[in-house]
Chains A and B, each alone.
Chain A
Amino acid sequence: MRARQAGHYGTSAALAVLFLLPMVWTLYSSVHGSRAAAGDGAGWGLANYQRLAGYGDGLGSYVLNTTVVALVTVAVTVVSTTLGGYAVARLTFRGKNLLFLATLAILMVPYTTILIPLYIVLGWLGLQNSLIGLGLVLAMFQLPFGLFMMRNSFEALPVELEEAALIDGCTPGGALRRVLLRGVAPGMVTVGLFSFLASWNEFVAPLIFLTDGSKFTLPVALFNLQSGNLGAVDFGALQAGVVTAAVPCVAVFLLLQRYYVSGFSAGALKG
Protein backbone atom coordinates (compact mmCIF):
# COMPACT_ATOMS: atom_id res chain seq x y z
CA MET A 1 0.00 0.00 0.00
CA ARG A 2 2.84 2.37 0.93
CA ALA A 3 4.58 1.63 -2.34
CA ARG A 4 1.43 2.24 -4.32
CA GLN A 5 0.90 5.54 -2.52
CA ALA A 6 4.47 6.61 -3.29
CA GLY A 7 4.09 5.55 -6.89
CA HIS A 8 0.91 7.56 -7.17
CA TYR A 9 2.56 10.67 -5.80
CA GLY A 10 5.66 10.16 -7.90
CA THR A 11 3.69 9.85 -11.13
CA SER A 12 1.44 12.80 -10.29
CA ALA A 13 4.39 15.01 -9.39
CA ALA A 14 6.40 14.02 -12.48
CA LEU A 15 3.42 14.83 -14.69
CA ALA A 16 2.92 18.17 -12.95
CA VAL A 17 6.56 19.07 -13.60
CA LEU A 18 6.17 18.02 -17.24
CA PHE A 19 3.15 20.30 -17.63
CA LEU A 20 4.75 23.28 -15.88
CA LEU A 21 8.20 22.95 -17.46
CA PRO A 22 7.47 24.59 -20.86
CA MET A 23 6.06 27.66 -19.11
CA VAL A 24 8.87 27.83 -16.58
CA TRP A 25 11.47 27.46 -19.32
CA THR A 26 9.91 30.27 -21.37
CA LEU A 27 9.76 32.55 -18.33
CA TYR A 28 13.38 31.70 -17.51
CA SER A 29 14.75 32.23 -21.01
CA SER A 30 12.87 35.52 -21.34
CA VAL A 31 15.01 36.98 -18.55
CA HIS A 32 18.20 34.91 -18.85
CA GLY A 33 20.56 34.28 -21.74
CA SER A 34 22.92 36.00 -24.14
CA ARG A 35 20.29 38.44 -25.42
CA ALA A 36 18.49 38.97 -22.12
CA ALA A 37 21.39 40.68 -20.39
CA ALA A 38 21.97 44.30 -21.26
CA GLY A 39 25.74 44.09 -21.74
CA ASP A 40 27.93 41.36 -23.24
CA GLY A 41 27.80 37.74 -22.19
CA ALA A 42 25.02 35.65 -20.74
CA GLY A 43 23.18 36.61 -17.60
CA TRP A 44 20.00 37.99 -16.18
CA GLY A 45 18.33 41.05 -17.65
CA LEU A 46 15.25 42.61 -19.16
CA ALA A 47 16.73 43.39 -22.57
CA ASN A 48 14.28 40.98 -24.26
CA TYR A 49 11.37 42.92 -22.81
CA GLN A 50 12.92 46.22 -23.86
CA ARG A 51 13.26 45.04 -27.47
CA LEU A 52 9.71 43.69 -27.32
CA ALA A 53 8.40 47.02 -26.00
CA GLY A 54 9.82 48.79 -29.04
CA TYR A 55 8.67 46.20 -31.58
CA GLY A 56 6.39 47.42 -34.39
CA ASP A 57 3.84 49.89 -33.10
CA GLY A 58 4.99 49.29 -29.56
CA LEU A 59 3.96 46.60 -27.11
CA GLY A 60 1.74 49.12 -25.32
CA SER A 61 -0.54 49.60 -28.29
CA TYR A 62 -0.90 45.83 -28.85
CA VAL A 63 -1.77 45.27 -25.21
CA LEU A 64 -4.25 48.15 -25.40
CA ASN A 65 -5.87 46.73 -28.58
CA THR A 66 -6.19 43.30 -26.99
CA THR A 67 -7.69 44.86 -23.87
CA VAL A 68 -10.28 46.77 -25.92
CA VAL A 69 -11.31 43.61 -27.78
CA ALA A 70 -11.51 41.62 -24.54
CA LEU A 71 -13.55 44.35 -22.81
CA VAL A 72 -16.03 44.58 -25.70
CA THR A 73 -16.38 40.79 -25.83
CA VAL A 74 -16.84 40.37 -22.08
CA ALA A 75 -19.26 43.30 -21.74
CA VAL A 76 -21.41 42.33 -24.71
CA THR A 77 -21.47 38.63 -23.77
CA VAL A 78 -22.27 39.16 -20.09
CA VAL A 79 -24.97 41.83 -20.65
CA SER A 80 -26.71 40.13 -23.57
CA THR A 81 -26.71 36.63 -22.06
CA THR A 82 -27.83 37.89 -18.63
CA LEU A 83 -30.82 39.68 -20.15
CA GLY A 84 -31.43 36.85 -22.62
CA GLY A 85 -31.00 34.16 -19.96
CA TYR A 86 -33.56 35.93 -17.76
CA ALA A 87 -36.02 36.20 -20.66
CA VAL A 88 -35.60 32.54 -21.62
CA ALA A 89 -35.81 31.28 -18.04
CA ARG A 90 -38.62 33.45 -16.67
CA LEU A 91 -40.65 35.08 -19.42
CA THR A 92 -43.01 33.73 -22.02
CA PHE A 93 -42.91 35.34 -25.41
CA ARG A 94 -43.40 34.35 -28.99
CA GLY A 95 -40.20 33.26 -30.75
CA LYS A 96 -38.48 32.24 -27.53
CA ASN A 97 -37.78 28.66 -28.56
CA LEU A 98 -36.62 29.80 -31.96
CA LEU A 99 -34.15 32.22 -30.37
CA PHE A 100 -32.90 29.54 -27.99
CA LEU A 101 -32.34 27.03 -30.78
CA ALA A 102 -30.74 29.58 -33.13
CA THR A 103 -28.30 30.56 -30.38
CA LEU A 104 -27.39 26.96 -29.59
CA ALA A 105 -26.91 26.29 -33.32
CA ILE A 106 -23.81 28.50 -33.13
CA LEU A 107 -22.19 25.52 -31.39
CA MET A 108 -22.95 23.26 -34.34
CA VAL A 109 -21.40 25.57 -36.92
CA PRO A 110 -17.64 25.24 -36.98
CA TYR A 111 -15.86 28.40 -36.04
CA THR A 112 -13.48 28.70 -38.98
CA THR A 113 -16.07 28.09 -41.67
CA ILE A 114 -18.14 31.16 -40.84
CA LEU A 115 -15.26 33.63 -40.68
CA ILE A 116 -15.11 34.25 -44.46
CA PRO A 117 -18.76 35.43 -44.81
CA LEU A 118 -18.36 37.32 -41.52
CA TYR A 119 -15.50 39.22 -43.14
CA ILE A 120 -17.96 40.41 -45.82
CA VAL A 121 -20.73 41.23 -43.30
CA LEU A 122 -18.29 43.30 -41.24
CA GLY A 123 -17.40 45.13 -44.45
CA TRP A 124 -21.07 45.97 -45.04
CA LEU A 125 -21.34 47.34 -41.50
CA GLY A 126 -18.15 49.36 -41.82
CA LEU A 127 -16.63 47.21 -39.08
CA GLN A 128 -13.79 45.64 -41.05
CA ASN A 129 -10.44 46.34 -39.47
CA SER A 130 -12.26 47.44 -36.31
CA LEU A 131 -11.61 46.29 -32.75
CA ILE A 132 -15.31 46.77 -31.90
CA GLY A 133 -16.36 44.56 -34.83
CA LEU A 134 -13.87 41.89 -33.76
CA GLY A 135 -15.19 42.06 -30.19
CA LEU A 136 -18.78 41.63 -31.40
CA VAL A 137 -17.86 38.58 -33.49
CA LEU A 138 -16.01 36.99 -30.58
CA ALA A 139 -19.00 37.73 -28.32
CA MET A 140 -21.25 35.91 -30.78
CA PHE A 141 -19.16 32.75 -30.40
CA GLN A 142 -19.57 32.98 -26.60
CA LEU A 143 -23.37 33.28 -26.71
CA PRO A 144 -24.32 29.56 -26.61
CA PHE A 145 -22.29 28.84 -23.49
CA GLY A 146 -23.31 32.16 -21.91
CA LEU A 147 -27.02 31.68 -22.55
CA PHE A 148 -26.88 28.13 -21.19
CA MET A 149 -25.04 29.24 -18.09
CA MET A 150 -27.30 32.23 -17.39
CA ARG A 151 -30.54 30.36 -18.09
CA ASN A 152 -29.46 27.66 -15.64
CA SER A 153 -28.47 30.32 -13.10
CA PHE A 154 -31.87 32.03 -13.27
CA GLU A 155 -33.73 28.73 -13.12
CA ALA A 156 -31.80 27.78 -10.00
CA LEU A 157 -33.15 30.85 -8.16
CA PRO A 158 -36.42 30.31 -6.29
CA VAL A 159 -39.37 31.97 -8.01
CA GLU A 160 -40.56 33.26 -4.61
CA LEU A 161 -37.57 35.62 -4.52
CA GLU A 162 -38.85 37.48 -7.55
CA GLU A 163 -42.49 37.26 -6.47
CA ALA A 164 -41.62 38.85 -3.15
CA ALA A 165 -39.86 41.72 -4.90
CA LEU A 166 -42.86 42.23 -7.19
CA ILE A 167 -45.28 42.26 -4.25
CA ASP A 168 -43.07 44.85 -2.59
CA GLY A 169 -43.68 47.04 -5.59
CA CYS A 170 -40.68 46.39 -7.79
CA THR A 171 -41.20 46.42 -11.54
CA PRO A 172 -39.91 43.25 -13.27
CA GLY A 173 -36.86 45.25 -14.37
CA GLY A 174 -36.32 46.48 -10.83
CA ALA A 175 -36.63 42.97 -9.43
CA LEU A 176 -34.02 41.77 -11.91
CA ARG A 177 -31.67 44.62 -11.06
CA ARG A 178 -32.08 44.70 -7.28
CA VAL A 179 -32.76 41.10 -6.33
CA LEU A 180 -31.97 38.56 -9.01
CA LEU A 181 -28.62 39.87 -10.25
CA ARG A 182 -27.07 39.12 -6.87
CA GLY A 183 -28.19 35.52 -7.19
CA VAL A 184 -26.80 34.99 -10.67
CA ALA A 185 -23.55 36.89 -10.09
CA PRO A 186 -21.44 33.69 -9.94
CA GLY A 187 -22.82 32.67 -13.33
CA MET A 188 -21.96 36.09 -14.73
CA VAL A 189 -18.39 35.77 -13.44
CA THR A 190 -18.07 32.37 -15.12
CA VAL A 191 -19.41 33.70 -18.43
CA GLY A 192 -17.10 36.73 -18.19
CA LEU A 193 -14.09 34.53 -17.42
CA PHE A 194 -14.69 32.23 -20.40
CA SER A 195 -15.18 35.19 -22.76
CA PHE A 196 -12.10 36.95 -21.43
CA LEU A 197 -9.85 33.93 -21.96
CA ALA A 198 -11.28 33.29 -25.42
CA SER A 199 -11.05 36.88 -26.66
CA TRP A 200 -7.66 37.71 -25.16
CA ASN A 201 -6.13 34.63 -26.79
CA GLU A 202 -7.99 34.62 -30.09
CA PHE A 203 -5.68 34.25 -33.08
CA VAL A 204 -7.45 33.47 -36.36
CA ALA A 205 -10.29 36.05 -36.21
CA PRO A 206 -8.00 39.07 -35.69
CA LEU A 207 -5.61 37.61 -38.27
CA ILE A 208 -8.43 37.78 -40.84
CA PHE A 209 -10.36 40.87 -39.71
CA LEU A 210 -7.56 43.28 -38.81
CA THR A 211 -5.49 44.58 -41.70
CA ASP A 212 -3.92 47.65 -40.14
CA GLY A 213 -0.73 46.85 -38.22
CA SER A 214 -1.48 49.46 -35.56
CA LYS A 215 -4.71 47.61 -34.68
CA PHE A 216 -3.16 44.16 -34.22
CA THR A 217 -3.88 42.27 -31.04
CA LEU A 218 -1.08 40.67 -29.04
CA PRO A 219 -1.28 37.13 -30.54
CA VAL A 220 -1.19 38.48 -34.12
CA ALA A 221 1.62 40.92 -33.34
CA LEU A 222 3.63 38.09 -31.77
CA PHE A 223 2.99 35.91 -34.80
CA ASN A 224 4.41 38.70 -36.98
CA LEU A 225 7.41 38.93 -34.68
CA GLN A 226 7.93 35.19 -35.22
CA SER A 227 7.33 35.07 -38.98
CA GLY A 228 8.11 38.60 -40.12
CA ASN A 229 11.81 38.67 -40.89
CA LEU A 230 12.87 35.37 -42.37
CA GLY A 231 15.77 33.59 -40.78
CA ALA A 232 16.27 36.11 -37.99
CA VAL A 233 13.62 35.35 -35.41
CA ASP A 234 14.29 37.22 -32.17
CA PHE A 235 13.53 34.31 -29.84
CA GLY A 236 14.26 36.32 -26.72
CA ALA A 237 11.68 38.96 -27.59
CA LEU A 238 9.24 36.25 -28.69
CA GLN A 239 9.53 34.50 -25.34
CA ALA A 240 9.07 37.80 -23.54
CA GLY A 241 5.96 38.29 -25.67
CA VAL A 242 4.55 34.86 -24.85
CA VAL A 243 5.05 35.61 -21.15
CA THR A 244 3.34 39.00 -21.53
CA ALA A 245 0.36 37.43 -23.31
CA ALA A 246 0.05 34.54 -20.84
CA VAL A 247 0.48 36.35 -17.51
CA PRO A 248 -2.96 38.06 -17.37
CA CYS A 249 -4.71 34.81 -18.34
CA VAL A 250 -2.84 32.64 -15.88
CA ALA A 251 -3.43 35.21 -13.11
CA VAL A 252 -7.17 35.54 -13.81
CA PHE A 253 -7.43 31.79 -14.19
CA LEU A 254 -5.77 31.02 -10.86
CA LEU A 255 -7.84 33.70 -9.14
CA LEU A 256 -11.18 32.50 -10.53
CA GLN A 257 -10.42 28.79 -10.81
CA ARG A 258 -13.57 27.66 -9.02
CA TYR A 259 -15.76 29.64 -11.42
CA TYR A 260 -14.00 27.94 -14.32
CA VAL A 261 -14.67 24.51 -12.86
CA SER A 262 -18.29 25.37 -12.07
CA GLY A 263 -18.70 26.43 -15.68
CA PHE A 264 -17.79 22.90 -16.64
CA SER A 265 -20.33 21.14 -14.48
CA ALA A 266 -23.14 23.64 -15.10
CA GLY A 267 -22.79 24.81 -18.65
CA ALA A 268 -20.74 22.33 -20.56
CA LEU A 269 -22.30 19.08 -19.48
CA LYS A 270 -25.91 19.67 -18.57
CA GLY A 271 -28.63 20.05 -21.14
Chain B
Amino acid sequence: MVSVLPIRPARPGGSTTHPGRTPVSGLGRRRQRLGWAYSAPMAAIVAVFFLLPLALMLWMSVNHWPLLGASYPNGVENYGALTDPFFLRALWFTIKYTVVTTIVLSLAAFGMALLAQSARPGTGLFRTAYFLPTAVGLGSASLLFYGLFNTESSPLNTVLDRVGLGPVDWLGTNGSALSSTVGMITWRFAGFYMLILLTGLHSIDPSLYEAARTDGASRWQTMRHVTLPLLRPTLALMMVLSVTGSLLAFDQFYILTGGRHDTATLAIDIYREAFLSQDLGRAAAVSVALLVVLILINGAQLRLLRRKED
Protein backbone atom coordinates (compact mmCIF):
# COMPACT_ATOMS: atom_id res chain seq x y z
CA MET B 1 0.00 0.00 0.00
CA VAL B 2 1.21 3.44 -0.88
CA SER B 3 2.11 5.43 2.16
CA VAL B 4 -0.01 8.54 2.48
CA LEU B 5 -0.45 11.31 4.98
CA PRO B 6 -0.93 9.87 8.46
CA ILE B 7 -4.63 10.29 9.04
CA ARG B 8 -5.95 9.08 12.28
CA PRO B 9 -9.02 10.22 14.16
CA ALA B 10 -7.18 12.14 16.82
CA ARG B 11 -8.60 12.37 20.31
CA PRO B 12 -8.29 15.55 22.33
CA GLY B 13 -5.66 14.99 24.98
CA GLY B 14 -3.70 12.52 22.90
CA SER B 15 -1.11 13.78 20.47
CA THR B 16 -0.43 11.71 17.39
CA THR B 17 2.98 13.18 16.64
CA HIS B 18 6.03 12.08 18.52
CA PRO B 19 8.60 14.84 18.12
CA GLY B 20 11.35 12.66 19.58
CA ARG B 21 10.97 9.89 17.04
CA THR B 22 9.72 11.38 13.81
CA PRO B 23 11.41 14.51 12.61
CA VAL B 24 8.98 17.16 11.41
CA SER B 25 8.73 16.31 7.75
CA GLY B 26 7.48 18.52 4.98
CA LEU B 27 4.20 16.67 5.11
CA GLY B 28 3.95 17.14 8.87
CA ARG B 29 4.48 20.82 8.52
CA ARG B 30 1.87 20.90 5.80
CA ARG B 31 -0.64 19.13 8.09
CA GLN B 32 0.20 21.60 10.80
CA ARG B 33 -0.51 24.55 8.51
CA LEU B 34 -3.65 22.88 7.20
CA GLY B 35 -4.91 22.40 10.75
CA TRP B 36 -4.42 26.06 11.52
CA ALA B 37 -6.01 27.15 8.27
CA TYR B 38 -9.11 25.02 8.78
CA SER B 39 -9.61 26.01 12.38
CA ALA B 40 -8.82 29.69 11.78
CA PRO B 41 -12.43 30.90 11.28
CA MET B 42 -13.59 29.18 14.45
CA ALA B 43 -10.54 30.28 16.42
CA ALA B 44 -11.06 33.89 15.31
CA ILE B 45 -14.68 33.91 16.48
CA VAL B 46 -13.79 32.26 19.80
CA ALA B 47 -10.98 34.79 20.39
CA VAL B 48 -12.85 37.95 19.39
CA PHE B 49 -16.38 37.18 20.57
CA PHE B 50 -15.66 34.99 23.59
CA LEU B 51 -12.17 35.22 25.13
CA LEU B 52 -11.80 38.97 24.60
CA PRO B 53 -15.21 39.86 26.14
CA LEU B 54 -14.56 37.41 28.97
CA ALA B 55 -11.34 39.22 29.87
CA LEU B 56 -13.03 42.57 29.34
CA MET B 57 -15.80 41.59 31.74
CA LEU B 58 -13.24 41.08 34.54
CA TRP B 59 -11.56 44.39 33.68
CA MET B 60 -14.86 46.30 33.49
CA SER B 61 -15.90 44.99 36.89
CA VAL B 62 -13.01 46.92 38.53
CA ASN B 63 -13.60 50.12 36.57
CA HIS B 64 -16.06 52.94 36.71
CA TRP B 65 -17.53 52.35 33.28
CA PRO B 66 -20.54 54.49 32.32
CA LEU B 67 -22.60 53.63 29.25
CA LEU B 68 -21.35 56.85 27.67
CA GLY B 69 -18.11 58.63 28.58
CA ALA B 70 -14.65 57.74 29.80
CA SER B 71 -13.84 54.93 32.23
CA TYR B 72 -11.28 54.70 35.03
CA PRO B 73 -10.28 52.01 37.57
CA ASN B 74 -12.21 52.14 40.83
CA GLY B 75 -11.14 49.00 42.66
CA VAL B 76 -13.88 46.83 44.08
CA GLU B 77 -16.43 49.64 44.32
CA ASN B 78 -18.68 48.05 41.66
CA TYR B 79 -19.04 44.94 43.77
CA GLY B 80 -21.13 47.09 46.10
CA ALA B 81 -23.88 46.20 43.62
CA LEU B 82 -23.98 42.83 45.39
CA THR B 83 -25.39 44.43 48.55
CA ASP B 84 -27.95 46.57 46.71
CA PRO B 85 -31.51 45.83 47.94
CA PHE B 86 -32.69 45.41 44.36
CA PHE B 87 -30.00 42.80 43.76
CA LEU B 88 -30.81 40.93 46.98
CA ARG B 89 -34.53 40.81 46.14
CA ALA B 90 -33.65 39.61 42.62
CA LEU B 91 -31.32 36.97 44.08
CA TRP B 92 -34.01 35.63 46.41
CA PHE B 93 -36.65 35.60 43.69
CA THR B 94 -34.29 33.89 41.22
CA ILE B 95 -33.47 31.13 43.73
CA LYS B 96 -37.17 30.62 44.48
CA TYR B 97 -37.97 30.49 40.77
CA THR B 98 -35.09 28.08 40.07
CA VAL B 99 -36.17 25.62 42.75
CA VAL B 100 -39.86 25.66 41.79
CA THR B 101 -39.18 25.44 38.04
CA THR B 102 -36.65 22.63 38.35
CA ILE B 103 -38.97 20.51 40.50
CA VAL B 104 -42.07 21.09 38.36
CA LEU B 105 -40.24 20.65 35.06
CA SER B 106 -38.40 17.51 36.14
CA LEU B 107 -41.57 15.82 37.36
CA ALA B 108 -43.53 16.80 34.25
CA ALA B 109 -40.75 15.72 31.89
CA PHE B 110 -40.24 12.43 33.71
CA GLY B 111 -43.94 11.59 33.60
CA MET B 112 -44.13 12.47 29.92
CA ALA B 113 -41.02 10.44 29.12
CA LEU B 114 -42.58 7.37 30.76
CA LEU B 115 -45.79 7.97 28.78
CA ALA B 116 -43.99 8.55 25.49
CA GLN B 117 -41.52 5.70 25.95
CA SER B 118 -43.82 2.92 24.81
CA ALA B 119 -43.74 1.59 21.28
CA ARG B 120 -47.52 1.71 20.90
CA PRO B 121 -48.76 3.12 17.58
CA GLY B 122 -49.42 6.85 17.75
CA THR B 123 -46.79 7.52 20.40
CA GLY B 124 -44.66 9.33 17.82
CA LEU B 125 -47.46 11.81 17.21
CA PHE B 126 -47.91 12.46 20.92
CA ARG B 127 -44.18 12.94 21.29
CA THR B 128 -44.20 15.51 18.47
CA ALA B 129 -47.08 17.36 20.12
CA TYR B 130 -45.15 17.49 23.42
CA PHE B 131 -42.01 18.94 21.96
CA LEU B 132 -43.53 21.21 19.33
CA PRO B 133 -43.51 24.19 21.78
CA THR B 134 -39.71 23.85 21.77
CA ALA B 135 -39.72 25.24 18.21
CA VAL B 136 -41.46 28.40 19.40
CA GLY B 137 -38.88 30.84 20.73
CA LEU B 138 -38.94 31.70 24.42
CA GLY B 139 -39.68 35.34 23.54
CA SER B 140 -42.57 34.38 21.26
CA ALA B 141 -43.85 31.89 23.83
CA SER B 142 -43.85 34.64 26.47
CA LEU B 143 -45.78 36.96 24.14
CA LEU B 144 -48.20 34.13 23.35
CA PHE B 145 -48.89 33.54 27.04
CA TYR B 146 -49.10 37.28 27.65
CA GLY B 147 -52.26 37.08 25.56
CA LEU B 148 -53.48 34.06 27.52
CA PHE B 149 -52.79 35.67 30.88
CA ASN B 150 -54.08 39.15 30.14
CA THR B 151 -57.07 39.83 32.34
CA GLU B 152 -59.33 41.38 29.69
CA SER B 153 -58.77 39.05 26.77
CA SER B 154 -57.81 35.88 28.64
CA PRO B 155 -59.65 32.82 27.37
CA LEU B 156 -58.59 31.14 30.61
CA ASN B 157 -60.72 33.63 32.53
CA THR B 158 -63.65 33.11 30.18
CA VAL B 159 -63.54 29.42 31.04
CA LEU B 160 -63.10 30.03 34.76
CA ASP B 161 -65.97 32.54 34.72
CA ARG B 162 -68.26 29.94 33.22
CA VAL B 163 -67.57 27.42 35.98
CA GLY B 164 -67.95 30.17 38.58
CA LEU B 165 -64.34 30.54 39.70
CA GLY B 166 -64.20 34.14 38.64
CA PRO B 167 -61.47 35.96 36.78
CA VAL B 168 -57.93 35.38 38.03
CA ASP B 169 -55.25 38.04 37.93
CA TRP B 170 -52.64 35.78 36.35
CA LEU B 171 -49.72 38.20 36.52
CA GLY B 172 -50.87 40.76 39.09
CA THR B 173 -49.13 39.50 42.25
CA ASN B 174 -45.75 38.01 43.00
CA GLY B 175 -47.26 34.58 43.70
CA SER B 176 -49.56 34.44 40.70
CA ALA B 177 -46.86 35.79 38.37
CA LEU B 178 -44.45 33.12 39.59
CA SER B 179 -46.87 30.24 39.12
CA SER B 180 -48.13 31.54 35.77
CA THR B 181 -44.57 31.85 34.51
CA VAL B 182 -43.63 28.38 35.77
CA GLY B 183 -46.68 27.08 33.91
CA MET B 184 -45.56 28.78 30.71
CA ILE B 185 -41.99 27.51 31.10
CA THR B 186 -43.26 23.98 31.69
CA TRP B 187 -45.28 24.21 28.48
CA ARG B 188 -42.24 25.47 26.58
CA PHE B 189 -39.54 23.14 27.98
CA ALA B 190 -41.19 19.92 29.24
CA GLY B 191 -40.98 18.32 25.78
CA PHE B 192 -37.33 19.29 25.46
CA TYR B 193 -36.42 17.64 28.76
CA MET B 194 -38.66 14.68 27.92
CA LEU B 195 -36.53 14.14 24.83
CA ILE B 196 -33.35 14.18 26.92
CA LEU B 197 -34.85 11.65 29.35
CA LEU B 198 -36.08 9.46 26.48
CA THR B 199 -32.53 9.28 25.15
CA GLY B 200 -31.44 8.10 28.60
CA LEU B 201 -34.31 5.61 28.92
CA HIS B 202 -33.56 4.08 25.52
CA SER B 203 -29.94 3.51 26.48
CA ILE B 204 -30.97 1.19 29.36
CA ASP B 205 -30.35 -2.44 28.44
CA PRO B 206 -33.77 -4.12 27.97
CA SER B 207 -32.42 -7.38 29.37
CA LEU B 208 -32.24 -5.72 32.79
CA TYR B 209 -36.01 -5.22 32.72
CA GLU B 210 -36.47 -8.84 31.71
CA ALA B 211 -34.26 -9.95 34.58
CA ALA B 212 -36.27 -7.81 36.99
CA ARG B 213 -39.51 -9.32 35.66
CA THR B 214 -38.16 -12.86 36.05
CA ASP B 215 -37.21 -12.05 39.61
CA GLY B 216 -40.78 -10.98 40.23
CA ALA B 217 -40.06 -7.30 40.81
CA SER B 218 -43.08 -5.01 40.95
CA ARG B 219 -43.33 -1.96 38.67
CA TRP B 220 -42.33 0.29 41.53
CA GLN B 221 -39.34 -1.91 42.46
CA THR B 222 -38.18 -1.95 38.84
CA MET B 223 -38.44 1.83 38.74
CA ARG B 224 -36.51 2.23 42.01
CA HIS B 225 -33.78 -0.32 41.46
CA VAL B 226 -33.33 -0.38 37.69
CA THR B 227 -34.64 2.73 35.94
CA LEU B 228 -33.75 5.49 38.39
CA PRO B 229 -30.14 4.43 39.16
CA LEU B 230 -29.32 3.93 35.47
CA LEU B 231 -31.01 7.19 34.54
CA ARG B 232 -28.98 9.17 37.06
CA PRO B 233 -26.50 10.70 34.56
CA THR B 234 -29.39 11.84 32.35
CA LEU B 235 -31.31 13.21 35.33
CA ALA B 236 -28.17 15.08 36.39
CA LEU B 237 -27.79 16.57 32.92
CA MET B 238 -31.42 17.72 33.04
CA MET B 239 -30.86 19.29 36.47
CA VAL B 240 -27.72 21.14 35.31
CA LEU B 241 -29.56 22.52 32.27
CA SER B 242 -32.66 23.49 34.23
CA VAL B 243 -30.77 25.12 37.11
CA THR B 244 -28.47 27.07 34.77
CA GLY B 245 -31.35 28.13 32.54
CA SER B 246 -33.51 29.24 35.46
CA LEU B 247 -30.75 31.17 37.23
CA LEU B 248 -30.27 33.13 34.00
CA ALA B 249 -34.00 33.66 33.33
CA PHE B 250 -34.67 36.89 31.48
CA ASP B 251 -37.08 36.79 28.53
CA GLN B 252 -40.07 35.31 30.36
CA PHE B 253 -40.12 37.83 33.22
CA TYR B 254 -39.01 40.80 31.14
CA ILE B 255 -41.93 40.19 28.78
CA LEU B 256 -44.63 38.89 31.15
CA THR B 257 -44.19 41.21 34.14
CA GLY B 258 -41.39 43.60 33.20
CA GLY B 259 -39.87 42.66 36.57
CA ARG B 260 -42.82 44.20 38.46
CA HIS B 261 -44.25 42.69 41.68
CA ASP B 262 -40.72 41.74 42.78
CA THR B 263 -40.32 39.33 39.88
CA ALA B 264 -37.02 40.80 38.70
CA THR B 265 -34.39 38.11 38.18
CA LEU B 266 -30.60 38.41 38.36
CA ALA B 267 -30.37 38.77 34.58
CA ILE B 268 -32.94 41.59 34.75
CA ASP B 269 -30.81 43.18 37.49
CA ILE B 270 -27.77 43.07 35.16
CA TYR B 271 -29.82 44.64 32.37
CA ARG B 272 -31.14 47.31 34.76
CA GLU B 273 -27.66 48.22 36.02
CA ALA B 274 -26.29 48.41 32.48
CA PHE B 275 -28.97 50.17 30.49
CA LEU B 276 -31.25 51.91 32.98
CA SER B 277 -28.64 53.01 35.56
CA GLN B 278 -26.19 53.17 32.61
CA ASP B 279 -23.45 51.70 34.80
CA LEU B 280 -21.69 48.94 32.85
CA GLY B 281 -19.08 48.48 35.58
CA ARG B 282 -21.67 47.45 38.17
CA ALA B 283 -23.41 45.25 35.59
CA ALA B 284 -20.06 43.54 34.91
CA ALA B 285 -19.50 43.02 38.65
CA VAL B 286 -22.89 41.29 39.00
CA SER B 287 -22.04 39.25 35.87
CA VAL B 288 -18.72 38.10 37.34
CA ALA B 289 -20.43 37.06 40.58
CA LEU B 290 -23.10 35.14 38.67
CA LEU B 291 -20.44 33.48 36.50
CA VAL B 292 -18.48 32.30 39.55
CA VAL B 293 -21.62 30.94 41.24
CA LEU B 294 -22.70 29.08 38.10
CA ILE B 295 -19.27 27.53 37.57
CA LEU B 296 -19.28 26.38 41.21
CA ILE B 297 -22.80 24.94 40.96
CA ASN B 298 -22.11 23.18 37.64
CA GLY B 299 -18.79 21.88 38.94
CA ALA B 300 -20.43 20.51 42.09
CA GLN B 301 -23.24 18.88 40.12
CA LEU B 302 -20.84 17.29 37.66
CA ARG B 303 -18.59 16.03 40.46
CA LEU B 304 -21.57 14.52 42.25
CA LEU B 305 -22.55 12.85 39.02
CA ARG B 306 -19.06 11.44 38.44
CA ARG B 307 -18.75 10.05 41.96
CA LYS B 308 -22.05 8.22 41.57
CA GLU B 309 -20.87 6.69 38.32
CA ASP B 310 -17.71 5.19 39.85
Contacts and interface: CB of A to CB of B under 8 A. Distances in A.
Given A91-B31, A204-B251, A268 B196 contact: yes
Contact of A80 (B45, B56, B138): B45
Contacts of A239: 144, 147
A86 B134 CA distance: 30
A264 B294 contact: no
B1 to A, nearest CB: 9
Contacts of B130: 15-16, 19
Interface residues on A, range: 35 or more
Contacts of B38: 83-84, 86-87, 91
Contacts of B187: 19, 22
B110 to A, nearest CB: 13
B7 A103 contact: no
Contact of B122 (A9, A15, A154, A172): A9
Looking at B35, B52, B146, B274, the one whose CB has the most chain A CB atoms below 10 A away is B35
B229 interface: no
Interface stretch (A36-44, A55-63, A162-170): A162-170
Contacts of A140: 45-46, 49-50
A238 interface: yes
B146 A143 contact: no
Chain A contact residues: helix, strand, loop or mixed = helix
Interface in A94-144: 94-97, 99-103, 105-106, 108-114, 116-121, 125, 136-137, 139-140, 143
Interface in B211-267: 234, 237, 244, 247-248, 250-251, 254-255, 258, 267
Contact of A103 (B9, B46, B135): B46
A114 B115 contact: no
A130 to B, nearest CB: 13
Interface in B255-310: 255, 258, 267, 270-271, 274-275, 280, 283-284, 287-288, 290-291, 294-295, 298
A83 B148 contact: no
B12 interface: yes
Contacts of A147: 42
A137 B137 contact: no
Interface residues of B, number: 97
A109 B257 CA distance: 27
A223 B57 CA distance: 28
Contacts of B125: 16
B116 interface: yes
A220 B45 CA distance: 25
Given A102-B51, A113-B291, A12 B116 contact: yes
Given A143-B46, A162-B7, A269 B199 contact: yes
A22 B145 contact: yes
A250 interface: yes
Given A204-B250, A219-B139, A222-B143, A23 B133 contact: yes
Interface stretch (B13-21, B79-87, B99-107, B174-182): B13-21
Contacts of B208: none
A263 B38 CA distance: 23
B273 to A, nearest CB: 9
A192 interface: no
Interface string A23-61: 101100100000000000000000000000000000000
Contacts of B143: 219, 222-223, 226, 238, 241-242
A159 B7 CA distance: 7
Given A19-B133, A92-B31, A112-B270, A83 B41 contact: yes
7 cross-chain pairs, A with B, having the tightest CB-CB distances, nearest first: A201-B137, A93-B35, A203-B139, A84-B42, A253-B135, A113-B287, A16-B129
7 contacts: A8-B115, A15-B112, A87-B35, A88-B10, A99-B39, A101-B12, A120-B60
Interface of A: 5, 8-9, 11-13, 15-16, 19-20, 22-23, 25-26, 29, 76, 79-81, 83-84, 86-97, 99-103, 105-106, 108-114, 116-121, 125, 136-137, 139-140, 143, 147, 154-155, 159, 162-163, 166-167, 172-173, 197, 200-204, 208, 219, 222-223, 226-227, 233, 235, 238-239, 241-242, 245-246, 249-250, 252-254, 257, 261, 264-265, 268-269
Given A15-B112, A117-B60, A201-B137, 18 more contacts: A19-B191, A22-B145, A76-B45, A90-B10, A96-B39, A108-B295, A109-B50, A112-B250, A113-B270, A114-B54, A114-B287, A116-B60, A116-B270, A140-B46, A143-B45, A200-B137, A208-B271, A265-B199
